[in-house]
């Protein structure tokens, strides 16, 4: 990986840049893009993937918790689909191994799209455009399995390369200001980096919310405990990615915090035991802003 990127500036840095170019199948990705915004994938025709993960607005819905079919309110904040492919597992508690297994979840979830497979197939097959495209790309009638494959290809295309931070990692020393570099040093020195690292600045381990100082009154929905029933897993989540974090408010699994500076303050206190000064919070937020990448190229029609 390091060799492929080919820059000395990277040596020893715990964060890895997103590739500038990914190998995407453009036909599948464009079909997936249509499916991703298609409300016919929900029982009452009200909800598409894009309703909760707007690809043009950070891959999220900017609500504390999402609303599905018939206005049913969930308990969890929708994580971004941008760069989700780089996460080691999917969902807050990592219950899906990959994006394909993940995408099955909301289609079947009675709180979200509430669909049966036969109904998905029937609706896709009733569309002559889908008939044409599925036959051309997959050589058979439209069906859920191939639809999931196409959606995953679209999601893979939702990568955001060339953030200022990645440019700095690749050796462009002018890409960050002094304040932003100080923010990064602080992020490393106080230990944010121990959980938020790797290509997605997170997304590669399970950790507690409240690792040092437990969070009082924490709404524990969707944690590892939900999956395992083991007390050890209470308030334990997949560490979220911090890429494009300035574009994905509100924050945390329950969407309880609207502001990024507040999220940083809470993280430092509960997960590291530090009370940060205003100035320190400000520097870390300045660093986090440099993780804004280029919006996914597929949105302009060029995967
Ligand atoms: C009603 C709102 C809603 C709809 C519709 C929806 N999602 Fe989600 N999505 C969520 C929520 C909430 C979560 C977090 C759930 C959890 O972790 O248990 C999530 C999680 C995800 C994740 C995991 C990201 C990560 O970092 O773990 C991906 C990827 C994703 N959704 C893609 C999709 C796709 C593809 C579709 C359409 C097939 C879809 N979503 C439909 C709300 C929604
Ligand atoms: C012990 C591991 C750990 C450490 C250390 C840590 N985090 Fe986190 N971080 C997490 C986990 C786990 C979550 C998800 C918590 C939740 O949603 O309940 C999270 C969530 C966040 C979020 C919200 C992300 C979102 O999409 O909602 C931000 C912002 C954040 N961390 C920044 C930081 C900063 C800045 C530091 C250092 C001051 C830090 N974290 C230190 C594990 C950690």
The string of pLDDT tens digits covering residues 175-233 is 999 999 999 999 999 999 999 999 999 999 999 999 999 999 888 789 999 999 999 99
CA–CA distance, 128 with 132 (Å, rounded to integer): 6
Structure tokens at 64: 């504390």
pLDDT above 90 as % of the chain = 84
Instruction: State the number of CA atoms in the 13 A half-sphere of 88 facing the CB.
Output: 15
Quick one: which ligand is closest to 238's CA? Answer: 2
Name the closest-CA residue to atom 39, ligand 1: 49
- Does any ligand 2 atom lie closer than 6 A to the CB of residue 270? no
Q: What is the per-residue pLDDT across 242-261, written as a single tens digit (0 to 9) for each?
A: 999 999 999 999 999 999 99
Closest ligand 1 atom to 51 CA? 5
- Does any ligand 2 atom lie closer than 6 A to the CB of residue 207? yes
Name the closest-CA residue to atom 43, ligand 2: 195
Reported residue count of the chain is: 303
Q: Examine residue 250 and say whether the peptide bond preceding it is cis (omega within 30 degrees of 0).
A: yes
- The answer to whether 193 touches 267, Cβ cutoff 8 Å, is no
- Does any ligand 2 atom lie closer than 6 A to the CB of residue 192? yes
The reported pLDDT for the residue numbered 303 is 57
Task: Give the residue-averaged pLDDT of 163-179.
Answer: 97
CA–CA distance, 218 with 256 (Å, rounded to integer): 10
Determine the longest span between alpha carbons in the chain, in angstroms: 60
- The answer to whether 66 touches 76, Cβ cutoff 8 Å, is yes
Core vs surface per residue 238-270: b (16+ CB within 10 A) or e:
bbbbbbbbebbbbbbbbbbbeebeebbbbbbbb
Question: Could you tell me the distance, in angstroms and rounded to a whole number, from the CA of residue 52 to the centre of ligand 1?
Answer: 7
- The answer to whether 185 touches 245, Cβ cutoff 8 Å, is no
Name the closest-CA residue to atom 16, ligand 2: 252
Quick one: which ligand is closest to 286's CA? Answer: 2
pLDDT at 69 over 80: no
Q: What is the per-residue pLDDT across 291-301, written as a single tens digit (0 to 9) for each?
A: 999 999 999 97
Confidence of residue 4 (pLDDT cuts 50, 70, 90): very low
- Does any ligand 2 atom lie closer than 6 A to the CB of residue 184? no
Task: Give the residue-averaged pLDDT of 36-63.
Answer: 95
- Does any ligand 2 atom lie closer than 6 A to the CB of residue 196? yes
- The answer to whether 233 touches 223, Cβ cutoff 8 Å, is yes
């Amino acid at each position: 990986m390091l060799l492929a990127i080919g820059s000395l500036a990277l040596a020893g840095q715990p964060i890895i840049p997103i590739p500038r170019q990914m190998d995407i199948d453009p036909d599948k990705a464009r079909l997936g893009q249509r499916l991703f915004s298609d409300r016919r994938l929900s029982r009452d025709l009200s909800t598409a993937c894009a309703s909760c993960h707007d690809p043009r607005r950070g891959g999220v819905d900017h609500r504390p918790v999402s609303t599905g079919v018939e206005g049913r309110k969930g308990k969890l904040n929708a994580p971004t689909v941008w760069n989700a492919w780089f996460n080691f597992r999917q969902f807050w508690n990592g219950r899906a191994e990959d994006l394909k297994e993940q995408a099955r979840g909301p289609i079947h979830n009675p709180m979200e799209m509430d669909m049966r497979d036969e109904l998905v197939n029937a609706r896709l097959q009733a569309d002559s455009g889908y008939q044409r495209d599925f036959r051309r790309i997959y050589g058979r009638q439209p069906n859920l399995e191939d639809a999931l494959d196409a959606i995953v290809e679209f999601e893979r295309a939702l990568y955001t390369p060339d953030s200022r931070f990645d440019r700095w990692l690749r050796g462009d020393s002018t890409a960050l200001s002094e304040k932003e570099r100080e923010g990064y040093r602080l992020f490393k020195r106080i230990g944010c980096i121990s959980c938020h690292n790797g290509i997605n600045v997170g997304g590669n381990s399970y950790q507690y919310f409240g690792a040092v100082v437990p969070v009082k009154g924490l709404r524990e929905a969707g944690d590892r405990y939900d999956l395992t029933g083991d007390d050890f897993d209470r308030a334990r989540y997949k560490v979220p990615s911090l890429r494009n974090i300035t574009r994905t408010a509100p924050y945390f699994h329950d969407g309880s915090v609207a502001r990024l500076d507040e999220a940083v303050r809470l993280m430092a206190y509960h997960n590291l035991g530090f009370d940060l000064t205003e100035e320190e919070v400000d520097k870390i937020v300045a660093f986090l802003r440099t993780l804004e990448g280029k919006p996914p190229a597929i949105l302009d029609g060029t995967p």
